[in-house]
Structure 1
Amino acid sequence: MAWRRTRDAARRARRPARHGRHGREGRSPVVRPPLPPLDTRADRFDLAVGTTAEFLRSAWEELRDVSFEIADMPPATDDDGIPRWHVLSAEKRIILYRLPIERLSHLHRNDDAHRRMMIEGSVFRAAAEYLDRDPWDLGPERFRYF
């Protein structure tokens, strides 16, 4: 009997420290903690529209009660083609259409900074249409050094 116990003890000692139910080594998780969280184009678009809208609301009192909304696509095309935004002055709403803004705008350099500037420019133009002003009048101090 003593011989059997020592043989079982030796067999157990040969196993790796991490083992599964079938004697295999343990597997690591699919996504490790040091990786950044996943974000999508829609998340980046929402963030860019939100921060730009907050800037405009803080700068212009007329925009404080205006709702900036995001939709994927417009319901229909108009005479000028596919609209990028729709301004509803009576309802105090500005609706920005994500897919036309992202896919139909031609950037001279396709990187994160230029995509964000293109989204911010669309928000500025939509707000300028709501206020019946020139987009450059909405934030002159923001573009002073560029």
Structure 2
Amino acid sequence: MRRKPRIVTPVDRARGRSRHGRGHRSSVTGPELAPVITRAEAFDRIVGDTAHYLVGLWPEELSGVVFQVADMPTDTGLPDELPRWRVERDDRRVTVFRIPVERVTHSPEKDDVDRRIVVETAVFRAVAELIDKDPWDLAPDRYRHW
């Protein structure tokens, strides 16, 4: 069964959630268990967080850009290698394909940080293609830790 592409909204998650003035809600699973989140939800969250970060850095260039996630490309005439993203300049749309990007990380020695880096890299490269910049120029200070 093929799912429709999902729109990913760049959201500032630092605000937290306070319903009706009651403060933050606790996890459904409780403090003893890890939250239940699917791979697709985790992927969507990483794409949304990365998109929010890039929109904050390049507000004029990325205003009105729609970020979405699809499981697989639906094009009939695909090349030998599956694309990991699609950029539609006229529609101001960036689509990241979850399964081709996740295939890069299917190695037993990869952990959650490695998977996050691979997804972020795909978003950075797609946005760089959209605004005609080098991916390293999008956030030059992000990788300077010294």
Unaligned runs of 5+ in 1: 1-30
Q: Match of 1:35?
A: 33
Where 1:144 maps in the other structure, the secondary structure is: coil
> Computing the radius of gyration over CA atoms, which structure comes out larger, 1 or 2?
1
Post-superposition offset of 1:40: 0.9
Secondary structure of the 1:37 match is coil
Question: What's the % identity of the aligned pairs?
Answer: 47
Give, as a single letter, the amino acid of the residue that structure 2 aligns with 1:50: G
**Any idea what the Cα deviations from partners look like across 1:32-76, whole Å, max 9, x if unmatched?**
743233111111101110010000001002112101100000013
CA distance in 2, matches of 1:126, 1:104: 16
- Asked whether the equivalents of residues 104 and 118 of structure 2 are also in contact (C-alpha less than 8 Å), the reply is no
Between 133-142 and 78-87, report the one with greater CA deviation. 78-87
Q: Aligned to 2:144, what secondary structure does the other structure show?
A: coil
Q: Which residue of 1 aligns with 2:138?
A: 138
Structure 2: stretches of 5+ with no match in the other structure: 1-27
1:62 alignment partner, SS class? coil
Relative to the length of structure 1, the TM-score reads: 0.72
Matches within 5 A, 1:1-146: 33=30, 34-60=32-58, 61-76=60-75, 78-79=78-79, 81-105=81-105, 109-145=109-145
Identify, as 1 or 2, the structure richer in helix: 1
Give the C-alpha shift of residue 103 in structure 1.
Answer: 1.3
Give the superposition deviation at 1:106. 6.3
Between 1 and 2, higher relative CO (CA 8 Å, sep ≥ 6) is seen in 2
| Matches of 2:29 and 2:54, distance apart in 1 | 39
The list of structure 1 runs, each at least 4 consecutive aligned residues, that deviate by more than 4 angstroms after superposition, is 105-108
Give the secondary-structure state (helix, strand or coil) at the position aligned to 2:44: helix
Q: Distance in 2 between matches of 1:107 and 1:64?
A: 36
CA contact (8 A) 2:70 2:98 kept: yes
Instruction: Evaluate the alpha carbon distance shift between residue 86 and residue 145 of structure 1 in structure 2; reply closer, same or farther with a 3 A threshold.
Output: same
Count of aligned positions: 116
How large is the Cα RMSD of the aligned pairs?
A: 2.2
